[in-house]
Amino acid sequence: MEIISVIPRGYCQGVVRAIQIAKNTVRENPHVPVTMLGMIVHNQYVVHACQQLGIRFVEEAGRSRIDLLDDINEGIVIFTAHGVSDDVRQKALCKGLTAVDATCPDVIKSHELVRAHCADHGDVLYIGKQGHPEAEGTVSLSDRVHLITCCADIEKLNHLNHVLITNQTTLSLLDCQRIIDACLKKYPQAQIASEICPATRIRQQAVMHLKNIDLLIVVGDVRSNNSHQLKEIGLSSGIPEAVLIDSIQDLTIDMIKEKDRIAVTSGSSTPSELTKQVIDFLQEYAQDPHWKNPPQTAEVKI
Q: Is the per-residue pLDDT at 302 higher than 90?
A: no
In CATH, the number for domain 2-11+199-287 is 3.40.1010.20
Out of 28, 74, 134, 284, which one is annotated catalytic? Answer: 134
pLDDT of residue 81: 94
Q: Is 134 tagged catalytic?
A: yes
Residues 6 or more apart in contact with residue 139 via CB below 8 angstroms? 126, 128, 145, 146, 147
Q: Region 224-243: what's the mean pLDDT?
A: 96
Is the distance from CB of 294 to CB of 256 less than 8 angstroms? no
pLDDT tens for each residue of 259-270: 999 999 999 999
Q: Region 87-100: what's the mean pLDDT?
A: 97
CATH architecture of 13-104: 3-Layer(aba) Sandwich (3.40)
User: Would 2-11+199-287 and 106-196 be classified into the same CATH topology?
Assistant: yes
CATH architecture of 106-196: 3-Layer(aba) Sandwich (3.40)
Beta-carbon count within 10 A of 31 CB: 5
Task: Classify residue 120 by burial, with Cβ atoms within 10 Å: 0-12, 13-18, 19+.
Answer: exposed
Residue extents of the structural domains in the chain: 2-11+199-287, 13-104, 106-196
Q: Is the per-residue pLDDT at 158 higher than 90?
A: no
Nearest to 45 by CA among 213, 184, 227, 192: 227
